[in-house]
């Protein structure tokens, strides 16, 4: 089972879901703002993937943060991501015991390769 965490209106998440469905893979979508238990998930994701991989510093949300809030990325990254879920790079995919961030070619190959 593939679990894809993202936002309903995220084009990258929509594309990933479409490709996963087309590959015939069993999956579920979890909206990180409305449905995900970020208090439990984010510390686990930060530990496994690292804050630099998980934190979207190119987002509008990041640019809108004060310097003080941006410094939380180093001091308390999980707290920052929990408070601002749109800072999480998307999608976050749990599949085959692995954690994948984003939907670039390497992630696409690893996730869709589960169909083989």
Residue of 3, 10, 59, 65 marked active site: 10
The per-residue pLDDT for range 53-111, each reduced to its tens digit, is: 999 999 999 999 999 989 888 899 999 999 999 999 999 999 989 999 999 999 999 99
- The verdict on whether 10 is a catalytic residue reads yes
Q: What are the structural domains, with CATH classification, of the chain?
A: 2-115 (3.40.30.10)
The rounded mean pLDDT for the chain is 94
SS (H, E, C) 34-80: CCCCHHHHHHHHHHHHCHHHHECCCCHHHHHCCHHHHHHHHHCHHHH
Give the model's pLDDT for residue 28.
Answer: 97
The per-residue pLDDT for range 21-53, each reduced to its tens digit, is: 999 999 999 999 999 999 999 999 999 999 999
The answer to whether the predicted template modeling score (pTM) of the entire model surpasses 0.85 is yes
Reference 90, options 29, 23, 21; nearest CA is 29
Task: Give mean pLDDT, residues 6-32.
Answer: 96
Element (H, E) at 83: helix 77-83
């Amino acid at each position: 089972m593939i679990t894809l965490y993202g936002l309903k209106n995220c084009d990258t998440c929509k594309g990933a879901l479409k490709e996963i469905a087309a590959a015939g893979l069993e999956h579920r979508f979890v909206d990180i703002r409305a449905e995900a238990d970020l208090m439990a998930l984010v510390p686990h994701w930060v530990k496994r993937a690292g804050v630099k991989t998980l934190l979207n510093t190119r987002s509008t949300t990041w640019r809108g943060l004060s310097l003080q809030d941006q410094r939380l990325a180093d001091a308390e990254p999980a707290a920052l991501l929990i408070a601002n879920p749109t800072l999480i790079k998307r999608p976050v995919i749990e599949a085959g015991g692995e954690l994948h961030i984003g939907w670039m070619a390497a992630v696409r190959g690893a996730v869709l390769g589960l169909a083989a």
